[in-house]
Amino acid sequence: MRLASAVVTAAVLVGGVTACGSSAKSAADTKGGDTKAAGDAVAGALGGDPKAALAASALVMQKAGNGKVTMVAPDGSTHTGGSGDADWKDPGKTSVDLTGEMDTKKLRIRVVGTDVYLGGGDAEAAALGGKHWVKMPAGNEMGDGLLLMTQMLNPVVQLTLAAANKPTKVGQEAVEGTQATHIRSVEDTSTMVAGMTGLSPEQRQAVQKSLEQDGKTITVDLWLDAKQQLVQLQEFGDKNGEHDAVTVKYAGLGSAAKIAAPAAADLGNPADILKLLG
């Protein structure tokens, strides 16, 4: 996975996780569980204001709670991205279980709440004495990056933040044969950092530095289908543009497998993480 770009967007999203969950739940409570009324509201939103469309779609994705995700690496990347399951029912504890390749090596990333695990296949396990996973220590830079990346995959967070950043409707487009409404949100990186909450001064400085590696602004494109579901999103900085974009696709909403921590007996020594990656 192209962690640099993924972490850029994910870091921005962390500050909005709690507010996002509160907003989605409050809206759902207001509807009193009346799914038909909610559906009518979403359908109306998609035909008009893009801000309302994104906010309404966030309700649809929050209700789904989980799904299948595919992360596509930028053009020219040596990594294949990853695919697997994601669970965003709890807005503050998005969990993922992804499998991909990094320079021909099989790599697995599993995040359960705030616990981050990195693993491989049988070939990679040989370097860990037959173990398939390593739990990343708290404060580990790579582990923190993967945790932030997980938030990037949370569709409710993405939709909510995009709705707050003056989104514009691009038009109707086909996404793998499905007609979808394309909406774009662009935000200045310094404004993003200024709006973050819950970050230490060191984290804020690191996020600002990471953001500026991709440019002064970050663009997020979102595609909503006729059922008001987010089927695809894409993000990129202004420095390299769409050529450097990371794409995330959503499918199988509500049908993802339960994501659990690896068995303790299958955990290797965290000090051996470089053996797994090497």
Tokens encoding 38: 């909610």
The pLDDT of residue 104 is: 65
User: Does residue 252 fall inside a structural domain?
Assistant: yes
The pLDDT of residue 150 is: 78
Domain count, the chain: 1
Query: CA–CA separation, 55 vs 198, rounded Å?
Result: 23
Domain that holds residue 13: 3-259+270-277
The pTM score is: 0.77
pLDDT exceeds cutoff 50 at 89: yes
Query: CA–CA separation, 204 vs 56, rounded Å?
Result: 30
User: Does residue 37 fall inside a structural domain?
Assistant: yes
User: Does residue 45 fall inside a structural domain?
Assistant: yes
Helix (H, G, I), strand (E, B) or coil at 13: helix
User: Does residue 264 fall inside a structural domain?
Assistant: no
- The better pLDDT of the pair 246, 230 is held by 230
Q: What CATH number is given to the structural domain containing 227? A: 2.50.20.20
- The better pLDDT of the pair 259, 15 is held by 259
User: Does residue 10 fall inside a structural domain?
Assistant: yes
Q: How many CA atoms lie within 13 A of 278 on its CB side?
A: 8
Tokens encoding 271: 């000090």
pLDDT exceeds cutoff 70 at 222: yes
Q: What percent of the chain has pLDDT over 70?
A: 68
The pLDDT of residue 233 is: 93
pLDDT exceeds cutoff 80 at 268: yes
Range with lowest mean pLDDT among 11-15, 102-106, 149-153, 253-257: 11-15
Closest CA to 225 of 51, 53, 23, 59: 53
Helix (H, G, I), strand (E, B) or coil at 195: coil
Interval 121-126 mean pLDDT = 74
